[in-house]
Amino acid sequence: MRRVPLRVAPALLALALSAMTIACGGDDDDDSNRGAGETTTATAATGSAGADGAWKGEFDTGTAVEAELFVPADDPGVAAFEELRQAVGAPTVLYGRITATNNGDAPDTGRFLTLTDAEGDQLADDAIILDFACSKAYRWSQTAGISADAIRLYESVYTDVCNGASIAGAPIAAGETLVYYVVYEGESQPEFDRVWAGLGQELKR
């Protein structure tokens, strides 16, 4: 199974475990909010164990979730992120689209995804964290020597797509359905068998 380069999983998982209730997925680069709606995709390779389909389940709070791995490159939600990625010269990524419906009476928060082998160990070295696309956009905006045009692109993404979230999962109001995106750093789909939302909430085909 392929491992994501440049990951911050240990810090994220430690923070999420201490939170106990809502695993927000994180990035130890910054403590501002992370990723709302987002997207981009390279052409996905075939043959991945878990590729090409929707995974369904719930967050620990009961919010219904459907994760599509992976979305095509022409997905409308991808365009702004791809423009920014290309502007800063960042490597190609693949995106998963998450649709979360909060049927409860309290606010909720988007979760990152973790892909694992059949053993399902989310803390294993070869587990793959799919981080929020808005978080990825934030890190792209920190690229050394970024142009003024790229900075303006990020500001637009932050305001218009991410709704002011850059690090933590996007808020999901009670009764709201939110579509947001997570990112895999690679040009072809990784091998995986199981999909998890946040910590411990497994999604099924």
**pLDDT tens series, the chain, 205 aa:** 544 443 444 333 333 433 333 333 334 444 333 345 433 333 333 334 444 579 999 999 999 999 999 998 789 999 999 999 999 999 999 999 999 999 999 999 999 999 999 999 999 999 999 999 999 999 999 999 999 999 999 999 999 999 888 888 889 999 999 999 999 999 999 999 999 998 889 999 9
* pTM exceeds cut of 0.85: no
Rounded distance between C-alpha atoms, residue 73 and residue 60, angstroms? 30
pLDDT for the residue numbered 199: 85
* pLDDT for residue 154: 96
User: pLDDT value at position 42?
Assistant: 38
What is the structure's pLDDT at 128? 97
Token representation of residue 68: 């599509």
pLDDT of residue 36: 54
Q: Using CB atoms within 10 A of its CB, is residue 46 exposed (0-12), middle (13-18) or buried (19+)?
A: exposed
Structure tokens at 23: 């695993």
Rounded Cα distance between 54 and 194, Å, is: 12
**Where do the domains of the chain lie?**
9-45+53-200
Residue 99 backbone dihedrals phi, psi, to 5 degrees: -110, 115
Task: Please give the share of the chain, as a percent, with pLDDT higher than 70.
Answer: 75
What span, in angstroms and rounded, lies between the C-alpha atoms of 180 and 123? 24
202 bridge partner residues: 196
How far apart (Å, rounded) are the C-alpha atoms in residues 133 and 103? 24
